[in-house]
A and B are shown apart, each in its own frame.
Chain A
């Protein structure tokens, strides 16, 4: 097994754990954490493909990963802000009870 396949397996495992967390947890904070895990699985893939790809000297994967982390940070801030606002409004962070925006 090549090192690349190993990295990809770890990343896939990480993504699945994140997805499982995001789908099963009811607490909004824990769902956000699951999403962060999935994002980091993607970052891991960027780095892996760059490191073992045809042009490792071009630093493209690194750039992508840094962009992604910056976006994730911003997203986390917005997401947490929303969660806090909802919590203040509804006195709960349970996603199952936040079903008022249905069609």
Chain B
């Protein structure tokens, strides 16, 4: 367990921190403008989206440079800008944004990966008639995700979080004509909503306890020591403090978004969306939002831990993460859809990140998040390139031998695959995964997570070797020959491949710059760090495991490539195991017979209640009123109407009498007038005589 992070108190906000809101605002405005464009405005939409993303990237880099500059100057900066959004009586609801090393690193990652994926999308979506709509959604997503990153208020984070969920829904269901895509979109939305309900509960609880949802507010924020001390003294159920319970509720939200077991079921189905979406949302950014959330509220998760100890919340995070890592890796072994394998791999890697957060602290989990974002985006975009080149074929059994047809994709994909497997020294995945394994080795609670994660690493190397053997080696088993993708698609791949390799530099034990940067410590270059007890043996184990996995994979699948219809090598060896894994360990079926069946039954009960009980009640009330109405009608016709009718008759008779004067003949009127005049004259004369 690391020592607690000690940042110098907030400085006055610098200009760049004051402008931080522009980073999410620009893509959101671009999305708004793109939404007004006609379908034919393809070029405008793409230019808008990419331009907005470039502005965000520039601002992010400026913010990062500012924070890094302060760090090199020996300061650990955390700048916040807060403002009151709603004021009800004495209570304030505040929003705000924060610029610290954590958000700065995430900002650069999200906007850089996002920009590359935007550019890639021009090539991938070139044939799609809804190109404009696609870029509108992509921009909106990017803006929302950047909003999650800069939020200094749990509420602002939650709002952006929900926007991210919405755009994820829209993009998974982008090809809504396909029933599978529409169903997957709904599934993703509903499954993440299960976690979000808990998140909301945790948020409301936190607000009730601390009276603020700001993270940092000059000592008055909800995850600063003052509020945490108060939360720790407040007991909740089951021996948890309020801090622990709120931490667990928030983690449930994070588990939904980050596809942790048992809420992982939506993520593999989300692959029905266009591949750039899978790369952007379901590999690099959105699913990482859950991990980021835990990193953001880490003081809350950690509250109450003694030095070297851990908390209930973090223990739960660790166990869920480690189980997810192994669980998803097992399933990935027996999938045949190129994107589905990557999806389960993503779930598994998210488990690693969670476990890293739980055992090693913010920096360990976040480093794997950043490296994973680059190599997994690379893998997804490589898979997109393969799918594109194979004429929308996604089944790896109908590919093969692509290393000759698609050389750029092959090289970059292999780099991504080796980074994911944790191939030693050269690749970033090795260093970030090793950080997690090292933390697991030193974890005081149990040793099981360490073995689970090592086993997961073995499986990762195995299933990636299987996939690459199927796709790139052997001979072509498809119909039409494959072709390489245009350079607008391969160029982003090359950039990402560079980062997949180079990023390891900032996280080696000899120069753990990333960790020091996040924790606000100084760091020097030191070879002797490798000499720490247990470190070299651990690296040895991890290297052996990787080579074992690669070796197994290669002996079973390498260059042999069975015919498309032939059963898998693993299926021939152990059919029952294969059956379980191929059917995703029957989790969906389990939900089908438990949760969904329960809801079906419950709906029927509700239907019966509605029809019989409540319906009957309503009918009874209606019947009583109908009876009452009948009685009223009887009274009306026989009592009230009699006297009323009589009055009316009298009036009508009087009216008829008067109406006779109004004959309608104009000369009759004239005659009456004349007579009246004569009468008046007579009265006048007679009265003047008298």
Interface residues in B633-690 by Cβ distance below 8 A to A read 658-659, 661-667, 670-671, 674
Closest-by-CB residue of A relative to B661 is A103
User: A90: CB under 8 A from chain B?
Assistant: no
Nearest CB in chain A to that of B658: its residue: A103
Known: A19-B674, A23-B674. A100 touches B664 (CB 8 A): yes
Say which residue of A22, A96, A101 sits within 8 Å of B670 (CB atoms). Answer: A22
Are A31 and B664 closer than 8 Å at their CB atoms?
no
A26 to B670, CA, bound (A): 12
Nearest CB in chain A: distance from B77 CB, A: 91
Chain B interface SS verdict (over half): helix
Binary CB contact string for chain A from 40 to 77 against chain B (1 if under 8 A, 0 otherwise): 00000000000000000000000000000000000000
A19 vs B666: C-alpha distance when bound (angstroms): 14
CB pair B662 A102 closer than 8 Å = yes
Chain A 1-23: CB-based contact to B (< 8 A → 1; otherwise 0)? 00000000000000000010011
Who on chain B is nearest to A28 by CB? B666
Flag if B667 contacts A99 (CB, 8 Å).
Answer: no
Flag if A95 contacts B665 (CB, 8 Å): yes
**Binary interface encoding of chain B residues 449-472 relative to chain A, with 1 for a CB under 8 A from any of its CBs, else 0:** 000000000000000000000000
Flag if A23 contacts B662 (CB, 8 Å).
no
- Nearest residue, chain A, Cβ from B659: A103
Contact with B along A80-103 (1 / 0, CB 8 A): 000000000000000110111111
Q: How far is the CA of A101 from the CA of B659 in the complex (A)?
A: 11
Tell which of A22, A26, A95, A103 has the most Cβ of chain B within 10 Å: A103
Q: How far is the CA of A63 from the CA of B669 in the complex (A)?
A: 31
Distance between A34 CB and nearest chain B CB, rounded to angstroms? 9
Residue contact B663 to A23, C-beta cutoff 8 Å: no
Q: How far is the CA of A103 from the CA of B669 in the complex (A)?
A: 13
Q: Which of B662, B665, B666, B671 contacts A103 (CB 8 A)?
A: B662
A23 and B664 within 8 A (CB): no
User: In the complex, which residues of chain A have a beta carbon less than 8 angstroms from the beta carbon of B659?
Assistant: 102-103
Number of residue pairs A-B, CB distance < 8 angstroms:
33
For residue A98, which residues in chain B have a CB less than 8 angstroms away from its CB?
664-666
Rounded to whole Å, the gap between the CB of B685 and the closest CB of chain A is: 13
User: In the complex, which of the residues B664, B667, B670, B671 contacts A102, with contact meaning CB atoms closer than 8 Å?
Assistant: B664
Which residues on A sit within 8 Å (CB–CB) of B670? 22-23
CB pair A31 B667 closer than 8 Å: yes
* Chain A minimum-CB-distance residue to B655: A103
Min CB–CB distance A9 → chain B (angstroms): 15
CB pair A23–B667 under 8 Å, yes or no, is yes
CB-defined contacts of A101 to chain B, threshold 8 Å: 664
Measured CA separation A99–B660 after assembly (Å): 12
Q: Mark B383-407, 1 if CB is under 8 A from A, else 0.
A: 0000000000000000000000000
> Are A95 and B666 neighbours in the complex by a CB distance under 8 Å?
yes
Q: Report yes or no: A102 in contact with B663, Cβ–Cβ below 8 A.
A: yes
User: Quick one: closest A residue to B656, CB to CB?
Assistant: A103
Within 8 Å CB of B661, what residues of A?
Answer: 103
* Identity of the chain A residue whose Cβ is nearest the Cβ of B678 in the assembled complex: A19
Q: How far is the CB of A31 from chain B (nearest CB, A)?
A: 7
Chain B residue contacts of A103, Cβ below 8 A? 658-659, 661-662, 664
B667 neighbours in A (Cβ, 8 Å): 22-23, 26, 31, 95-96
- B622 CB → nearest A CB, Å: 47
* A95 to B671 CA separation, bound complex (whole angstroms): 14
Per the bound structure, the CA–CA distance linking A103 and B654 in Å amounts to 13
Closest to A97 in B: B665
Shortest distance between the CB of B663 and any CB in chain A (Å): 5
Chain A residues with CB under 8 A of B666? 31, 95, 98
A100 CA to B665 CA, complexed, in Å: 8
Chain A residues within 8 Å of B662, by CB: 102-103
List B contacts of A19 (CB < 8 A): 674
CB contacts (< 8 Å) of B671 on chain A: these are 23
A23 to B672 alpha-carbon distance, docked (Å): 10
CB distance from A25 to the nearest CB of B (A): 8
Interchain nearest-CB distance for A32 vs B (Å): 11
A75 and B496 CA atoms in complex are apart in Å by 97
CB-defined contacts of A95 to chain B, threshold 8 Å? 665-667
Q: How far is the CB of B298 from chain A (nearest CB, A)?
A: 91
CB closest residue in chain A, given B674: A19
Q: How far is the CA of A23 from the CA of B666 in the complex (A)?
A: 9
A38 to B469, CA, bound (A): 121
Q: How far is the CA of A101 from the CA of B658 in the complex (A)?
A: 14
Residue on B with the closest CB to A96?
Answer: B665
Q: Is the CB of B663 within 8 A of A99?
A: yes
Across the interface, which residues of B come within 8 angstroms of A26, CB to CB? 667
**A69 to B659 alpha-carbon distance, docked (Å):** 36
Cα separation A102 to B671 with both chains bound (whole Å) = 16
Instruction: State the Cβ distance, B666 to closest chain A Cβ, in Å.
Output: 6
Expressed in whole angstroms, the minimum distance between the Cβ of B577 and any Cβ of chain A is 100
CA A96 to CA B671, docked complex, whole Å: 13
27 contacts between A and B (CB under 8 A): A19-B674, A22-B667, A22-B670, A23-B671, A23-B674, A26-B667, A31-B666, A31-B667, A95-B665, A95-B666, A95-B667, A96-B665, A96-B667, A98-B664, A98-B666, A99-B663, A99-B664, A100-B664, A101-B664, A102-B659, A102-B662, A102-B663, A102-B664, A102-B665, A103-B658, A103-B659, A103-B664
Apart from A31-B667, A95-B667, A102-B663, what 8 extra A-B contacts exist at CB < 8 Å? A22-B670, A23-B671, A23-B674, A96-B667, A98-B665, A99-B665, A103-B659, A103-B661
Shortest Cβ-Cβ A-B pairs, 10 listed: A103-B662, A102-B664, A99-B664, A103-B659, A102-B662, A99-B665, A101-B664, A102-B663, A95-B666, A23-B671
